[in-house]
Structure 1
Amino acid sequence: MQQPQKIGLTTLTALVFSSMVGAGIFSLPQNMAEVAGVDAILTGWLITGVGILLLAGCFLHLSRLKPELDGGIYTYARTGFGDTAGFLSAWGYWLCATIGVVGYLVVAFAAIGAFVDTPQSVIFGDGNTLPAFIGESLILWAVHYLVLRGIKQAAFINLLATLAKCLPLIVFIVLAYWAFEPATFNFDRAGQSLQTPFIEQVKGTMLITLWVFTGIEGAIVLSVRAKRRNDIGKATCLGVIFALILYVSITLLSLGVMSRADVAALNNPSMAGLMAHMSGSLGQWVISLGLIVSVLASYLSWIMYSAEVPCTAAQHGAFPRFFARQNEQGTSPASLTLTSVTVQLCLVLIMWTGESYNTLVLISTSMILIPYFLVGAYLVKIAFGQAASWNIKAIGLGASLYGLWLIYAAGLNALVLSTLLYIPGLMVFYYSRRKHRQLASAT
């Protein structure tokens, strides 16, 4: 069997950046304006900026303190807190990634619907019609074949798509800078028209900001495929910094182009409405095309992550053994097929129920809360166990507190939902453990 194909720093950084900067950024202005005023949004971004940089620091230091651990999300939880915690982290992350890619397909075809649908003839709608289902399924299995041919080729295509999708975002920031009005930005900064307490406004921004940063772990998940171990942490930090600059710029500049209430009333993708306000229908088309390219690039990133996690977990007995088998290109066909079939089933449910992108965001984000918290907690355990420097201990403690804050901010509904989705995973885990023990005893 050939050795798994290796990925360099630039491609790794593009994977991290692309997996974070997907569909969410194009709806970010409306999503934030709907739940918070300017002051709460600034506070939310401050908390998120610090928290997500601390989390990136956890991945950076763990990749150096534990260079022998590949797979990140699963292996950190398993090594630090046992097999059950490792499996729950892997299962939660796999569901987050898989449900997230369903959302990417749905929103991509919703954006196409903005071009071709009319009040008399709805073809793609919100991405949940029969024609949308057919188109989404075709893309799903085309990408399945691409990733089956090898991670390196798929990652290179993702790099090109990432460069392409940055152009409309940069154009938006430049136009919004010139159209920015301080009086508009400062009007009702406290968000009194929302009639919501300040702390509730801040909490309301948390799942939104977490969703747009989901994917920070991309270089860690694919760490076994990195050309150089030092590139893993660098790619994570670079991707986070680039994404953070984009997110904060787009959110705050938008609130100086239109009032908070007007931005909140926009249809998603709200960046298209803002571009139409600034430059007419041409700008709206540019943003909509950018959304389609961005979403498909992020979809490619997340499919690679989704296929990697069951394969890594199977190597340690948490998933059935056959998920660990790889083809000559270093891809696990069983793991990739599991992910693709799950996505296909979710697309069927979306078509039948008529649910949209926002529902998928809630489900996907709720599943990543525990895995992220365990990463910070593992660095704390390692830092104190190895008497590491106080700055590493502080990063681990800060990231753990950020993880607990996210769980609190998500609320009871998100916790109940994630708990229900973890239950079938435990059945898979105990079945896999029994089979692995039987094989071990037989040999």
Structure 2
Amino acid sequence: MSTDAETAAGTTSGIVAKMTLPTLTAMVVGGMVGAGVFSLPARFGVATGILGSLIAWAIAGAGMLMLAFVFQNLAIRKPDLDSGVFIYAKAGFGDYAGFNSAIGFWASAVAGNTFYWVFISATIGTFWDSFGDGDTVLAASVSTVGVWLFHILIARGVRDAAVINRIVTVFKILPILVFIVVLFVNFDAGVFRDNWTATGYGDLGNLNEQVRNTMIITTFVFLGIEGATVYSRYAKRREDVGKATVLGFLSVLSIFALVTLSSYSVMTQPQIADTRQPSMIGVFQYVVGDWGKVFISVAVIVSVLGAYLAWTLMAAEVMYIPSRNEDFPEFLGQENAHGTPITALVVTSLAVQGLLAATLILTDALNFMLDLCTSLALIPYFLAAAYALKLGLIGESYESVSPGTRRRETIFAGIATAYTLFLFDAAGLKFLLLSTVILAPATLLYVKARSERGRRIFSATEMALCVVIVAAGIIGAVGLWTGRITI
């Protein structure tokens, strides 16, 4: 006779049909094409000219492509590991590292989802001043309604939400392509030439500083590259997971780079830098007139709501799977009649609600949530890349492949690991400390989960890691309290 857990799992597999390559690819594209693309012109405009942007996209593209290859290769080498972002860290470095990877990913998704609602409100604020930059009481109230409407939609079933995401992905890509084509049709060679280094417009710093100042935004817009990996347990064919990751990444990289370059072809760097966020609205309006403001604003709202849906799904999954693997407390593994991880979904929605309330006191809610989201995502990305590197170095899972394949995949993993370490440096100490402010108290969930199953809580190495995280969390909390860390 089946247990309740087995019955629930059977219900999930029955209701959630297996995802095909197009659907998995749409999950990747839908996760990455959200709010970030609409903020690219001004975020790049304040930091660099065309040359710096090309170098930044080359570095970010190469680094994230290596990370895409890491997820692709791990899906092949370790086909038994599902919910990749969490499980790869656990398999490579132990239960506590896996727990922190899962919490980091989940907290990143929560911060990102809060950013999405602030971004939508800021977009509406271009028409109604009462929404401000997305950080007013009215903006928070409207966003709260949105959070719980989406909660109800997702609670009805993961498959329904995934299908909706696939449809939304198509409709949000089309306006971006229109933006790119229209701007290049209006290409101004003189403006493009002056924007090449933008040195005539003021001091942006040397080229190295310019590129460095764009790294966080280039990382943010690529968050979601692991979308297909998170849903690997729903894939119709396991090999589709890796294909969807690479296909989705290359498609999105092309779109992002063209949005940036097309903006430099019609407006000077100072004009782009001064454009109100979402800056794609102002750039398009500058070229086509007032109708462009409405056109891109609608695209922003559709795109961001689609991304919010995808990221809420991923956040719930990354709380649900660790619970089923005995790394999170049991209550987070509960499902409803539709096979939705309902408790994890409730916790996720409540966390977004809490951060929405925090936007009322933040100095710059939009950029704070963006940077916090990116910094937290670096934890699972680094651990996944490091695990792939470890496999290549020790030869595990490479017994039946050629030495050349092992060598190539190890090099890819090494580059991805180095790239994520570089991003930690680019993020800065402030956001690293803020990340530990979240990770330190979350350790209580790990302790509870281990205690529930009667398992040893920490090994000696894990205890040392816990001490480092808690100490950094205390330093971060004291910094917030004293004002040395400003938010």
Q: Structure 2: which amino acid aligns with 1:317?
A: E
Contact kept in structure 2, 1:321 and 1:436, CA below 8 Å: no
Superposition map of 1:10-409 within 5 A: 10-115=22-127, 117=128, 122-187=129-194, 189-192=196-199, 193-353=202-362, 355-384=364-393, 385-386=395-396, 387=398, 389-409=406-426
**Aligned equivalents of 1:227, 1:145: Cα separation in 2:** 27
Q: Which has the higher contact order (CA 8 A, sep 6+)?
A: 1
Runs ≥4 residues deviating over 4 A:
352-355
Q: Secondary structure at the match of 2:213?
A: helix
Shift of 1:247: 0.3
Shift of 1:414: 2.3
Shift of 1:439: 12
Q: Structure 2: which amino acid aligns with 1:433?
A: R
Shift of 1:352: 4.7
Q: Using structure 2 for the length normalisation, give the TM-score.
A: 0.86
Identity of aligned pairs, percent? 39
Shift of 1:328: 3.6
Q: Using structure 1 for the length normalisation, give the TM-score.
A: 0.94
Distance 1:328 1:225, change over 3 A: farther
Q: Structure 2: which amino acid aligns with 1:157?
A: I
In structure 1, the partner of 2:469 is: none
Contact kept in structure 1, 2:48 and 2:204, CA below 8 Å: no
Report Cα offsets for 1:233-289 as digits up to 9, x if no partner: 111111111110100001011111111111111111111111111100011210111
Contact kept in structure 1, 2:122 and 2:277, CA below 8 Å: no
Distance 1:357 1:195, change over 3 A: closer
Shift of 1:353: 4.4
Report Cα offsets for 1:56-83 as digits up to 9, x if no partner: 1011010010010001111000000111
Matched length: 435
**Aligned equivalents of 1:405, 1:182: Cα separation in 2:** 35
Shift of 1:427: 2.4
Contact kept in structure 2, 1:36 and 1:194, CA below 8 Å: no
Q: Structure 2: which amino acid aligns with 1:101?
A: N
Contact kept in structure 2, 1:18 and 1:298, CA below 8 Å: yes
In structure 2, the partner of 1:412 is: 429
**Aligned equivalents of 1:198, 1:113: Cα separation in 2:** 34
- Gapped runs of 5+ residues in structure 2? 1-6, 399-404, 458-487
**Aligned equivalents of 2:433, 2:63: Cα separation in 1:** 24
Q: Please give the root-mean-square deviation of Cα atoms over the aligned residues, in Å.
A: 1.7
**Aligned equivalents of 2:387, 2:117: Cα separation in 1:** 34
Report Cα offsets for 1:356-393 as digits up to 9, x if no partner: 21111011111011211111111111123234521111
